Chain A
Amino acid sequence: MTLPPSLEAILTFLQNWWVEIVCGVVIVAVVPLIAGYVVLVERKLMADMQARLGPMRVGPHGLLQPIADALKLLIKEDLIPDNADKLIFWLAPVISMVAAMTSMGAIAFGPTFQVARDINIGILFVIGVSSLGLLGIILGGWASNSHYSIIGAIRSTAQLVSYETAAGLAIVGALLLAGTLRIRAIVDAQQQLGVWFIFLTPVAFFIYLVASIAETNRAPFDLPEAESELVAGYMTEYSGFRWALYFLGEYANMIVVGSVATTLFLGGWLRPFPNVHWLDWLDFLPPLIIAAVGVYCVYRAGKQPAEIQIWFMWAVALTCFAVAVIFAVPLFVTSLKFILPGLHGAFWFLLKVSGYIYLFMWLRFTLPRYRFDQLMHLGWYILIPLAIVNVLAIGVAMILESEFSWNRWFAALLTSLFTLGVAAFLVNLYDKRTAAASAPATAAARDPYAG
């Protein structure tokens, strides 16, 4: 039967775009949950490193803590400071949240799972849209109309802008090797070369690591909301759900930054040593790891005090085993072989992203905080020049390799050493400058009795 034309158009639209829509819905639904559990993991890790237990109250081992937090934030009254700019006060957290979520659109969580099906400017889209989050921070600081939040907003803007340059140049370094902006093509390039780009351009990876930490306002660079001086920077006046939006935006941004680093430097969804065929038993690793988690849950289930907690731990264990079976099926059933890359690719990708985020958290627990001028100094005087020199070095390495047919490894090694030499020069230039700037008069050891 003939449908009305508009319905026809919608049906055709759905027909050829349903994969993207499903992926999009999954991302928008799952990311807040994941962000919640990343917060829980962070609190548990911090507790573990500080000889304490972390949240244990809500659900067994605090597993339901994120849901409790979300509920609390929803119920809590979010007040608006008087004569604050109502419209922009509401808009700012939305901008920072939307920026983080849309930039996830272009990220390929696995060879099949990608919302924007391989757009021509893949990585650039992710970086560009995630830099919009900056607007959310400025407007948030401005709209809350309090002295401290404006200073916090100005500081975090200056930090983000300068470290975005460093991150962009570090990414240029890796893109030279990949030769394309398309995310899928970058990972394929790493597969053909058979090596992850982190080994060819280690300096670019570390510059990007430092810049991405600063870009998400975390760890030693979390100055804008340094508790001790600005109380909470631009987020001071926010509470309740609006604050949760900012918080979600920050964690989503962390996942985005992690996935960009994984795609560019850690070989996206490639299994370690993808082309080495005698290492193919590594394909069995994903189901084994998930099964191990399930076994640990069973082991912990026995120790839970309350009845309900035992049931809950059993439920978690069973889901782990089910997922492990799903991962194992394509390995054995040859007819389902084609699922293997998509499924395992997503697992490896998420494993690497979580490793990257673990590094973020680790730094947060151990390192003290930079002062603002040191932070800007590190950004402008050391990271950006180093990133420029690194791009130069990679260009030279590629030319050496293609024109003078040097061995690729040798060229990469030589140029990396050259860049490290420049880095050492920059760092001691920085130390000499700070030492000279404030050398105090050395006090002779005086014995008061002598006087």
Chain B
Amino acid sequence: MGNALQQEDTTKKNSTLLGADELVINMGPQHPSTHGVLRVKLKLDGERVRATECVIGYLHRGVEKIAEHRTYQQFAPYVDRMDYVAAVSNGLGYCETVEKLLSVEAPPRARVIRTILTELQRIASHLVWLGTHALDIGALTPLFYCFREREEILKIFEKYCGARLTTHAFRIGGLQYEAYDGFEKDVERFCKNFERRIQDYVDLLTGNSIWIGRTRNVGVLSAADCIALGASGPVLRASGVKWDLRKAQPYAAYEQYQFDIPTGTNGDTYDRYMVRMEEMRQSRLICLQAIEKIPEGPILGKVGKVLKPAAGEVYHSIEAPKGILGYYIVSDGTTQPYRVRIRPPSFVNLQALDKMVRGHLVADVVAIIGTLDIVLGEVDR
């Protein structure tokens, strides 16, 4: 960090702090608040940010190239490693895309259990976001409260499929494991006390004048900019655009449940905070509705051991916690996909960073990176 800074500095005519007209500061890749290995080059005028340039690729593992030499089932675990904070949603997206390719339908019991696990994963992902975002802005305590709740969810995942983070919970065509017998009780107990716990965060942050001071009117993104930049998820909804794939193009079992889509008004960091908090409450409602009636029946559809989908292509997208996660798979009739293209939400939302940061102070850059809720595993793939 900082070596690039030295070269730029010396070339400047006078690099004294007083006459510093253009100053380039390096944030990252080992910066405590860039959520992984993102390097942001900030062009500063005194304290104000004039322009930014994101340097990514530090976490590039070539997942899409690997997919061309794996069978459909073998590639499923790779998908969890992309957005490692919301692995279950990645798995759901991939499995549903391949099912669409095979034009196979997962049985109703599998679809309901998939919905419950995905909503739990959404809550866990938002908790990680809230904890680290508050920590960047200086509030030390919310992080530990959020991780305490997330621990409950990870316990449920562990009981269900043996893994906490990269779960590989789903199979193409349905589920591998039957819901363990205490499953409904655990989820219900979690949802019950999560109601009180959300109140802890609201008391700590929502009414806090310093929190409002640091987030209100910071990193404003208007609806038109959002759509132009292709931003999606809470970032889009906070700017007032009511667009959620769970309602627009229902998948899994979302059409059976009633929940509303929170939207903000002026698309600043505070609105994104409120939208994600509300989304956690909605996800909790979905889980409660889902566990009342989990239909009986098989958990795996009629899918053979060897998958040889007909040559063709398919695009399917789901609403991941960070935004729209799309899969475009081209099959050439063999057991291995010809091409797998993934549209990660964090990568697209990161493009909005430059527009949001201009004119703000360095302290705000940290808050804005936090509010975009990017995960570098997904950005670099």
Contacts and interface: CB of A to CB of B under 8 A. Distances in A.
Interface residues of A, number: 39
Nearest to B267: A443
Nearest to B243: A448
A360 to B, nearest CB: 14
Most buried by A among B242, B243, B362, B363: B363
Nearest to A222: B138
B167 to A, nearest CB: 25
A364 B139 CA distance: 8
Nearest to A447: B242
B210 A370 contact: yes
A444 interface: yes
B220 interface: yes
Given A447-B242, A448-B241, A368 B222 contact: no
Most buried by B among A222, A365, A438, A445: A445
A57 B40 CA distance: 39
B44 to A, nearest CB: 10
A229 B362 contact: yes
Contacts of B5: 147
Interface in B48-82: none
A196 B298 CA distance: 75
Interface stretch (B141-149, B188-196, B287-295, B341-349): B141-149
Given A50-B145, A442-B265, A372 B361 contact: yes
Interface in B197-247: 204-205, 208, 210-211, 213-214, 217, 220, 222-224, 227, 239-243
Nearest to A49: B141
Interface string A351-379: 00000000000001111111111100000
Contacts of A441: 222
A150 interface: yes
A227 interface: yes
A116 interface: no
Contacts of A369: 137-139, 210, 214
A368 B138 contact: yes
B363 A226 contact: yes
Contact of A368 (B17, B25, B214): B214
Contacts of A150: 17
B217 A438 contact: yes
Nearest to A370: B210
A50 B148 CA distance: 9
Most buried by A among B25, B141, B224: B141
Interface residues of B, number: 48
A279 B349 CA distance: 66
Contact of B2 (A46, A147, A223, A446): A147
A372 to B, nearest CB: 7
B148 A51 contact: yes
A443 B239 contact: yes
B364 interface: yes
Interface string A433-451: 0100011111111111000
A38 to B, nearest CB: 17
A228 interface: yes
A443 B267 CA distance: 8
B214 A440 contact: no
A448 B227 contact: yes
A52 B242 contact: no
Interface string B262-282: 010111100000000000000
A417 to B, nearest CB: 22
B253 interface: no
Contacts of A372: 47, 361, 363
Contact of B217 (A46, A49, A440): A440
B32 A366 contact: no
A434 B2 CA distance: 34
B314 interface: no
A444 B240 contact: yes
A50 B241 contact: no
A286 interface: no
B140 interface: yes
A334 B316 CA distance: 89
A364 B140 contact: yes
A443 B265 contact: yes
A156 to B, nearest CB: 14
A442 B47 CA distance: 27
A439 B25 CA distance: 29
Most buried by A among B242, B263, B267, B362: B362
A223 B364 CA distance: 13
Contacts of A448: 227, 241, 243
Nearest to B362: A229
B241 A446 contact: yes
B140 A50 contact: yes
A445 B361 contact: no
B363 A52 contact: no
Contacts of B366: 228-229
Given A50-B144, A445-B241, A228 B32 contact: yes
B118 interface: no
A193 interface: no
A445 B242 contact: yes
B136 interface: yes
A294 interface: no
A372 B267 CA distance: 23
A369 B361 CA distance: 14
A368 B227 contact: no
Contacts of B363: 223, 226, 228-229, 371-372
Interface in A45-59: 46, 49-52
A249 interface: no
A313 to B, nearest CB: 27
Contacts of A366: 139, 141, 204
Q: Shortest 10 CB-CB distances between A and B: which pairs? A: A369-B138, A50-B144, A443-B223, A228-B33, A368-B139, A368-B138, A438-B217, A440-B220, A443-B240, A445-B240
25 contacts: A46-B140, A51-B144, A226-B138, A226-B363, A228-B136, A229-B366, A231-B32, A364-B140, A368-B134, A368-B138, A368-B210, A369-B139, A370-B210, A371-B361, A373-B47, A434-B213, A440-B217, A440-B220, A443-B222, A443-B223, A445-B242, A446-B227, A446-B241, A447-B242, A448-B243
Given A51-B144, A372-B47, 6 more contacts: A229-B362, A229-B366, A366-B141, A438-B220, A445-B242, A446-B227
Interface of B: 2, 5, 9, 17, 25, 32-33, 47, 134-141, 143-145, 148, 204-205, 208, 210-211, 213-214, 217, 220, 222-224, 227, 239-243, 263, 265-268, 361-364, 366
Interface of A: 46, 49-52, 147, 150, 154, 220, 222-223, 226-229, 231, 364-374, 434, 438-448
